[in-house]
Structure 1
Amino acid sequence: MRGFTWRAKQRHRPGLEVMAATGRTHGFESLEEMRLLVALDFMRASEVLSQPFRLDFEHVHGQSWHIPDFLAMVGSGMWLLDVRPMELVKEEDALKFAAAREVATACGWRYSVVAGWRPHVWSVLDHLSSRRRPVRDLLDMRTQLLNVIGGQEGRVMTFSELANATSVPSVGRANIVRLLWHRELGVDLGSPLRDSSLIWEA
């Protein structure tokens, strides 16, 4: 609904984010929107539309309009999303978000306002996303890692234990991150990713 423009001294940070899940670039108007695109990529959103439509609506004080930030297909459902840091949400924003929620409900979609991130979640997702691109696994690290941790049902290992159990631990570390991104291994996103983080087979 709007073009993404760049100019000197603008206060926001627009750009294009490449999503592995869709295989395309997607426009964003702020760093907060870019972070949401990374999260949607991790959630394997099969389709994402930036600023998908303009919503014109009436309310007790007159008329208003709103352009939601994203419409995403996650799994078999649609998710309408707005991004606004909590400290920047004003009364007129809350009215627009309420209207967007009503439209989403009428369409059978989910609706959320992304107003911030729980501690550590974004930093972990940012690190995992660094290994999302396809690569050649010349040392067959994927098989090594899954054989080690999948040897016993319900087995849990620390990040360092799992990496050290491979033939080349430094390469094993990078591949653990890759398998975490692709959800073949699991980790608690509520804590920083460190050597003591518990890893399990997803």
Structure 2
Amino acid sequence: MAEASLRSAAPWRTFRWHKGQKHYSGTYWAATMQDHVIYESRLELARLLFADFDPSVRDIVAQPFLLKVVVEGRVRKHIPDYFLVTEHGPVVVDVKPRRRLEQPVVASTFEWTRRVVESRGWRYEVWSEPPETELENVRFLAGYRRDWLFSRELLQEVRRAALDGVTLRDAARCVPGCEEERVRAAIHHLLWKNELRVELTCPLRPSTVLRRSA
């Protein structure tokens, strides 16, 4: 199974809809892919947001393949949630609430999945609930992820401004003659693109200090 072929893989299964279902399915437009990526729970959507925000991620593939192995004489099957192509190598991701990780079936499935994935030299990740404040910040910045909504000229003006160590409140005034709302939106876009950065473990406020990415 070549990494290149997985980049264009269609999801192994389609959405399962039924009355009273407990999971939350949908599609998310990922800036990384310039296309929609599916998810089957709010927790999967949260992982998608973090993957889309991560500058090292090049491709995001949902439900990329079916694993089928024999474990202790029994055939086991599992479809991982995401396959990420990153600048550091492929990452196979399973998303599961933390409260379920101790369940024997879940723990066993993830154990043999890890062995199979790592045998290929790939990284395996089990992802659970992120810190709430960090998730809220990334979710907020995702609203500014669409490149075509921002003037290239304005973005260049903001990039040229001396913003390192400046608060968000003051940074919005960095382009004379331009509405602060537009400048603030451009700053949020550059935060999404990781050209600027802030401390994401604290709520974003006007007093939040900007830093330039290394």
Do they fold alike, i.e. is TM over 0.5? yes
Letter in 1 for 2:173: N
- What residue number does 2:145 align with? 132
2:172 alignment partner, SS class: helix
- For the 8 Å contact 1:149–1:200, the answer to whether it is kept is no
- What residue number does 2:5 align with? none
Matched, 1:156 2:165: yes
Rounded to whole Å, the distance in 2 between the matches of 1:139 and 1:104 is 42
Letter in 1 for 2:89: G
Q: Structure 1, residues 166-186: CA drift from partner, whole Å, max 9, x if none?
A: 332222111111010111111
Trace 1:12-51 onto structure 2 (pairs within 5 A).
Answer: 12-44=23-55, 45-51=57-63
- For the 8 Å contact 1:149–1:201, the answer to whether it is kept is no
- What residue number does 1:195 align with? 206
Offset of 1:77 from its aligned partner? 1.0
1:140 alignment partner, SS class: helix
The count of residues paired between Structure 1 and Structure 2 equals: 198
- For the 8 Å contact 1:141–1:172, the answer to whether it is kept is yes
Rounded to whole Å, the distance in 1 between the matches of 2:152 and 2:71 is 62
Rounded to whole Å, the distance in 2 between the matches of 1:72 and 1:180 is 22
Trace 1:42-61 onto structure 2 (pairs within 5 A).
Answer: 42-44=53-55, 45-60=57-72
- For the 8 Å contact 1:119–1:191, the answer to whether it is kept is no
Offset of 1:136 from its aligned partner? 5.1
Identity of aligned residues (%): 27
- For the 8 Å contact 1:128–1:178, the answer to whether it is kept is yes
Offset of 1:131 from its aligned partner? 0.6
Rounded to whole Å, the distance in 2 between the matches of 1:156 and 1:7 is 51
- What residue number does 2:3 align with? none
- What residue number does 2:110 align with? 97
- What residue number does 1:180 align with? 191
- What residue number does 1:109 align with? 122
Aligned mate of 1:166, from 172, 175, 192: 175
Offset of 1:141 from its aligned partner? 2.7
Aligned mate of 1:87, from 90, 99, 102: 99
2:19 alignment partner, SS class: coil
- What residue number does 2:13 align with? 2
Q: Structure 1, residues 9-41: CA drift from partner, whole Å, max 9, x if none?
A: 211111111111112211211111111111111
Rounded to whole Å, the distance in 1 between the matches of 2:153 and 2:42 is 36
Q: Kindly tell me: are residues 130 and 105 of structure 1, through their superposed partners in 2, closer, same or farther at Cα, counting changes over 3 Å?
A: same
Unaligned runs of 5+ in 1: none
Scaled by the length of structure 2, the TM-score of the pair is 0.84
Q: Kindly tell me: are residues 10 and 119 of structure 1, through their superposed partners in 2, closer, same or farther at Cα, counting changes over 3 Å?
A: closer
Rounded to whole Å, the distance in 1 between the matches of 2:97 and 2:112 is 19
Letter in 2 for 1:8: K
- For the 8 Å contact 1:43–1:74, the answer to whether it is kept is no
Letter in 1 for 2:59: E
- For the 8 Å contact 1:146–1:201, the answer to whether it is kept is no
